[in-house]
Amino acid sequence: MKNIKKVIIIIILNILLILQTNIFAYEIEEETDYIWLQQEIENVSANPISEPNLNSRYAIVLDRDSKAVLYGKDENKRVPMASTTKIMTAIVLLENLGLNNNLTLDTQVEVCKEAGAIGGSRLGLKTGDKVTVNNLLYGLMLCSGNDAAIQIAVSIGGSVEGFANLMNKKAQDLGLENTHFVTPHGLDEPEHYTTAYELALIADYALNNEKIAEVVKTKTYTVTINGYSKAINNTNELLGYLNGVNGVKTGFTNGAGRCLVTSVNRNGFNIITVVLGADTKRFRTKDSISLIEYTYSNYELVNLEEIINKKFNEWRKNNENRINVYKGKNDNVKIKLENYNHKIYPIKKDNIKDINVEIKDIQMNFEAPVNTNTKVGKLVLKVCNKEIMDIEILTNKNIGRKNIKNYILECLGNIMT
């Protein structure tokens, strides 16, 4: 009798543990109030803000083209990121298909026990189910399936631990110093973390993959499990409702709070916003809308190339012929600017008038030989005294050193004249 009671107690405790885990540790998306959402979008659009006031503890707006941070709130602090982890899971999946395995997107895999048993947000897989890798990817990114994440990890990395190693290797390759992965789904673990800034970089990298970009902008999709069709919906509440939104991923755990990574493109102005640690789904939604509308209301893409070239050509016209090359076969130095990226740059509208270009640290005298691309000085572009670009000024061709023959010909030329 005592043994039976012990067994019953153990069973009850295990059930309670499972329930507690499912309630507090996993992402379970609540329904979106789309009437409220539409009203919030209209309210923010009609009343542009000069500075966001966020509930989210960590946030960022990243310009995708220049990688400039347009807004930040504790964006470099290490924090848990819940299911936004799955952005990296998708990257590692697609970049490792066919490497040391025979998998393609069309390959059908059998669902393992670990994937079939996990709780929280799910695609709905059971142990032994047959499903393609492509359907796992959609289940991962649309309905945030933890079961899909586990199966991807096992299929690609051999185990959750093996897949986490691949995730961390990719983070290293991307130069992320404050990101570390333990799982493919993002459930709370002490050593599973990133920052709002580095998560934005991960999302930016992911969107360069055409398949990921296609998946995350999909509102609904029909997967096939064991030959049966099942419709799934994207948990990203802004997709299809806010102008320009084309991804990326939601997230929630007790430790991470409500999280949302959003990509937006309006007339070629591409940004990524990240909010982490919001108290409720409404707060994460409202904060994301605020960041997006704040950015497009307050920033403008400026053609810096025109400004830079105008200043450089004016300076070159007045100063190029003053650069001397001692003992050079040719003292006619030609200069150029090094190639530079981000010729179109987002600048606050109020600050456009404060764009300033300086030519500095110029070396006017050289001794031959002088090679092509020898540094002459630099051009610095500032906005409100903050340096935005530092572009080297370089020589445009080789200038060799004079030899005896050159000196003789030079003397003869002087005599003849």
Per-residue pLDDT reduced to its tens digit, 332-379? 789 999 999 889 999 999 999 999 999 999 999 999 899 999 999 999
Characterise 263 by phi-psi region: left (phi > 0), alpha (psi -120 to 50), beta (else): beta
Domain of residue 95 covers 16-297
Packing angle between helix 146-157 and helix 133-141, nearest 10 degrees? 140
If you average pLDDT over every residue of the chain, what do you get? Answer: 91
pLDDT above 90 (res 133): yes
> Looking at residues 246-272, what average pLDDT do you find?
97
Are 292 and 350 within one domain? no
Q: Give the CA distances from residue 44 to residues 276, 286, 398, in Å, rounded to whole numbers and listed in that order.
A: 20, 9, 58
pLDDT tens profile 71-83: 999 999 999 999 9
> Looking at residues 125-150, what average pLDDT do you find?
98
Are 265 and 378 within one domain? no
For residue 136, give the nearest of 161, 163, 162 by alpha carbon: 163
Domain for residue 412, yes or no? no
Confidence of residue 49 (pLDDT cuts 50, 70, 90): confident
Q: State both tokens at 98.
A: 């066919």
Are 192 and 88 within one domain? yes
Q: State both tokens at 41.
A: 């979008």
Confidence of residue 404 (pLDDT cuts 50, 70, 90): low
pLDDT above 80 (res 148): yes
Check: CB of residue 94 under 8 Å from CB of residue 134.
no
What's 402's DSSP letter? P
Are 166 and 260 within one domain? yes
pLDDT above 80 (res 23): no
pTM: 0.88
Are 122 and 208 within one domain? yes
Domain for residue 6, yes or no? no
Handedness of CA 241, 243, 244, 249 (dihedral sign): negative
Are 64 and 153 within one domain? yes
State phi, psi for 330 to the nearest 5 degrees: -140, 125
Any idea which residues carry the catalytic annotation?
83, 86, 144
CB-based contacts of 408, cutoff 8 Å, min separation 6: none
Q: How far apart are CA 348 and CA 342, in angstroms?
A: 16
Confidence of residue 31 (pLDDT cuts 50, 70, 90): confident
**What per-residue confidence (pLDDT) applies to 21?**
39
Counting the structural domains of the chain, the total is: 2
